Amino acid sequence: MGKNKTKKISFLFIVPTLNSYKKLPKLVNSLTKQIHKEWRCILVDGNSKEQHKTWLKNLCDKDKRFIKINEDEKQGGIYGAMSKGYDFALDKEWIIFLGSDDWFSSNKSLNYLSNFIFENYKNEIKLIISNADFINEANKKVKISQRVKFPKIVNQTMFYHMLFFGYMPYHQSLCFSKDILETLMPYSNKFDLASDADLIIRLSFSKKLKKIFFLNKKCINIGAGGISSKYFFKRTYEVFKIYFRYYNSLFLIPFIIRYLKKLRLKLLSFF
């Protein structure tokens, strides 16, 4: 099914890091074991300690697909680092943003994505949302599963309505074409913890994003306990402001529905 052509599909992973060398091996191993080999990973480092910097240097020396760059002092934080990493993206690369504690769920994850891109190439594919699991790192149990429950393809208007009625995909489950992402960059510097939500909602207003594709395959595992989880109330307040920014007087509808859905999923995880 065009196996040689899928080999030409290339991915770029952008990963902000800060003294996270003890968490990164899981992500690194999941990448190096991928059957699909056409990828690069940019590690955007903050002001980490020497031990972390040495670990990154050794990794990049060993495998040239890993590239370490420094965070911009004027554009700090997680989303500033992601914006800086995007500056190094090449044309035709497909881009995924990950955290140090995330990893690919199988060695076929990039195969699933590259095959899907190839099969839908004539449909002007710009964005793919795949399945993902949110995993408690302490006990290795799945806290929340994101599964495709929509048609394979939805248009921009449908995507807008999905978000308005509480849907919000995990940031790490989004695979962007470079040309759609360049219409959105950089991430907003007005939010420390929820600029991903801001970007996703901006996507739903983009007339250039004519179709959104859903891949019913689990590609990503997301480590619970990241900075957004630790500062839940601050992130929630930022999400509140983002909904007000885009939906004006109707902002309580998506905000309340979203968090009711999150509460439901958390309650279900106990049973």
Q: Render pLDDT for 196-239 as a digit per residue (tens, 0 to 9).
A: 999 999 999 998 899 999 999 999 999 986 665 678 899 999 99
Fold classification of 3-268 (topology level) = Spore Coat Polysaccharide Biosynthesis Protein SpsA; Chain A (3.90.550)
Q: Render pLDDT for 232-241 as a digit per residue (tens, 0 to 9).
A: 899 999 999 9
Residue 215, helix vs strand vs coil = strand
The pTM of the full predicted model, rounded to 2 decimals, is 0.93
Q: Please provide the DSSP assignment of 47-71 as one string.
A: S--HHHHHHHHHHHHH-TTEEEEEP
Task: Give the domain ranges of the chain.
Answer: 3-268
Residue 45: phi and psi, rounded to 5, are -95, 135
Q: Render pLDDT for 170-186 as a digit per residue (tens, 0 to 9).
A: 999 999 999 999 999 99
